[in-house]
Chains A and B, each alone.
Chain A
Amino acid sequence: MDIIRLFTTHRKLLAVGSLLLILIFLTTFPLYGNDYYIRLLTTILMYTVLAVSWAMFSGATGYMSLATAAFFGVGVMTTAFLEGTLPFLVIIVIGGLLASALAFLIGLVTLRLRGVYFAIFSFGFVMFIGEIVFYIDTHILHNIWGHNLTPPDPGVLLYMMLGLVVVTLVTIYFIRRSRYGLALLSIGGNEEAAKHMGINTTRTKVILFTISAVFMGAAGAIFAPAIIHIQARIAFNIFNSFLPILMAIFGGMGQFYGPVVGAFVFGYLDAALKVEFQQYFMLGFGIILILVILFLPNGLAGLVPMLQGKLGGVIAKWRKGGEAEQHANT
């Protein structure tokens, strides 16, 4: 009974408690985890940032942005160019700001495109900017062999990424709860109606798209040293656009924590399957994704209300049964 009560009446307490536990686990991890797992965890946290900030904008509005890799790449290149000249924290901020400046310009021009056209444009944009930066880097600045960064302490990198995850989650949590969150959602629901309800849809879209890119750029700037050898074509890898989307869908976009769960499960599966089945891991991946989409249309996060419903039903039945028994006894 007490356990049931704990789950029903103290849900907030429970959520905060488990959050704290996870945070303690993550912060103490470098003390006992080996380098491989620290790196894996850093990568997963990096994808968490990308997936959550992608879902904040695209999940709510339905504007499928494939430009994530561009903003991430801008962050990576910022570190590649500036490493050693400025404190790392300053570089991260610059990376985020550059990415958001780019997102602002792109948003102004393209966020009037609907549906698949926006997706295609943002996809092409990643290719375009990747090639431009590559050209400038090799032909004009003559960094023909790319940039070799100082290998960092994996623990420090993990802490930085963890810090960014916390900042991202807190910011986006409040955005989702704010009137901007409601405005974004209404744009996804019906943009025409949203306009007529007094929402400046263009401004809302551009501002929130810009904000989402700050986190993506910062993630790139932090992650850059982990890549060690950086070339523009690696920095602007289009996979960094697709993976966060898969993670967000996998985890479920209806809930705030969905993309986080998705990034962790997906990120771990990705690494584990790659090690186990080098040849077939994509196949296994595909099957898992299809199963999730077929049976969990709301992603892994959709499991929670589903289970709650089932569990609630069982509990209610059990209680009724108990009452009936009492009635029978009297």
Chain B
Amino acid sequence: MRTLEGQGVTKYFGGLAAVSNVDFHVDRGEIVGLIGPNGAGKTTLFNLTSGALPLSSGEITFKGQKIRGLKPHRVCKMGVSRTFQETKVFGNMPVLQNVLVGAFFGSPNRISAADAAREASQALEFVGLSAMAGNSIQDLTLVSQKRVEVARALATRPELLLLDELMAGLNPAEVSEAMELVAKIRDTGITIFIVEHVMKAIMGICERIMVLHHGEKIAEGTPQEIASNKTVIEIYLGEETHAGS
């Protein structure tokens, strides 16, 4: 079953096509990776999916329902939740409160304060941050703040979770912890669409990967297929030699 499907997804910023005529789909229970060089349009595609940006043309559907024209809070209540590339935590409240916001407002039905509190502490426990519940979010490391974002997204009870560079800036030990977390989330039945730069991680956990370059989809397939795809290698190697010079 298609959880998320995009057809001819296009986004212009002025004259520049950030995402251009991309068809994609994420099936229920999958972990799908989205990779590509900087500026390829990965985050833009996420922003189009979560309703943060309006589509220029094309259509995105979640479980057959159109997302086009919906505001982010509607999309969230439909069952799509996300984290952000640059962490966007609520700096003016403690950790548990951050997650509580997701629990309170994210579900389609109005829930009681007691239920929201239970939901929030469960989500916090799930990401392994129960001990920090009362701390100020500002005191947490970036790694932990990203985990709080995951907990906050989980507290909205999503069916689809968009993870935007969860592992950027993490050391190898933290990366494997984060990979475990992603797998654990999938095991609870949540479909995952993930943008990531850490190749080891993306190759290790994704069932399918799609590659964006200059806003266009240039490849799609299993991790093995992507790893041996000539165009993909050229783009990444090309970038590396460029960066090295």
Chain A contact residues, CB within 8 Å of chain B: 179, 182-183, 185-186, 188-190, 192-201
Given A192-B84, A196-B81, 4 new contacts (CB under 8 A): A182-B104, A197-B105, A197-B106, A197-B156
The contact of B92 among A185, A192, A196, by CB within 8 Å, is A185
Cβ–Cβ contact A196 & B101, under 8 A? no
Interface CB pairs A-B, < 8 A, 11? A182-B104, A183-B101, A186-B93, A188-B90, A188-B92, A189-B98, A192-B84, A193-B84, A195-B71, A196-B73, A200-B71
Contacts A182-B100, A182-B104, A186-B101 given; does A197 touch B76 at CB 8 Å: yes
Cβ–Cβ contact A190 & B73, under 8 A? no
What are the residues of chain B within 8 A of A192 when measuring CB–CB?
Answer: 52, 84, 88
A-contact 0/1 string along B107-137, CB 8 Å cutoff: 1000001000000000000000000000000
The contact of A197 among B71, B93, B152, by CB within 8 Å, is B152
The contact of B90 among A179, A189, A200, by CB within 8 Å, is A189
Asked if B82 is at the interface (CB within 8 A of a chain A CB), the reply is: yes
What are the residues of chain A within 8 A of B102 when measuring CB–CB?
Answer: 197-198
What are the residues of chain B within 8 A of A195 when measuring CB–CB?
Answer: 52, 71-73, 76
Cβ–Cβ contact B92 & A197, under 8 A? no
Contacts A179-B104, A182-B97, A182-B101 given; does A193 touch B76 at CB 8 Å: no
**How far is it, in angstroms, between the C-alpha of A19 and the C-alpha of B243 when the chains are bound?**
66
Smallest Cβ-Cβ distance to A200: which chain B residue? B73
Asked if B39 is at the interface (CB within 8 A of a chain A CB), the reply is: no
Chain B contact residues, CB within 8 Å of chain A: 50, 52, 71-73, 76-77, 81-82, 84, 88-93, 97-98, 100-102, 104-107, 113, 152, 156
Contacts A182-B97, A198-B73, A198-B77 given; does A193 touch B104 at CB 8 Å: no
B109 to chain A, nearest CB (A): 11
What are the residues of chain A within 8 A of B73 when measuring CB–CB?
Answer: 195-201
The contact of B50 among A194, A196, A199, by CB within 8 Å, is A196
What are the residues of chain B within 8 A of A193 when measuring CB–CB?
Answer: 84, 88-90, 152
The contact of A190 among B50, B91, B100, by CB within 8 Å, is B91
What are the residues of chain B within 8 A of A188 when measuring CB–CB?
Answer: 90, 92
The contact of B91 among A189, A196, A198, by CB within 8 Å, is A189
What are the residues of chain A within 8 A of B156 when measuring CB–CB?
Answer: 197-198
B148 to chain A, nearest CB (A): 11
What are the residues of chain B within 8 A of A186 when measuring CB–CB?
Answer: 90, 93, 101
Contacts A189-B89, A189-B93 given; does A194 touch B101 at CB 8 Å: yes
- Which of A192, A194, A197, A198 gathers most chain B CB within 10 Å? A197
What are the residues of chain A within 8 A of B104 when measuring CB–CB?
Answer: 179, 182-183
- Which of B76, B77, B88, B93 gathers most chain A CB within 10 Å? B88
**How far is it, in angstroms, between the C-alpha of A182 and the C-alpha of B71 when the chains are bound?**
20
**How far is it, in angstroms, between the C-alpha of A119 and the C-alpha of B89 when the chains are bound?**
24
- Which of B71, B105, B106, B113 gathers most chain A CB within 10 Å? B105
B176 to chain A, nearest CB (A): 27
**How far is it, in angstroms, between the C-alpha of A154 and the C-alpha of B150 when the chains are bound?**
58
Cβ–Cβ contact A198 & B107, under 8 A? yes
What are the residues of chain B within 8 A of A189 when measuring CB–CB?
Answer: 89-93, 98
Cβ–Cβ contact B77 & A190, under 8 A? no
What are the residues of chain B within 8 A of A185 when measuring CB–CB?
Answer: 90, 92-93, 97
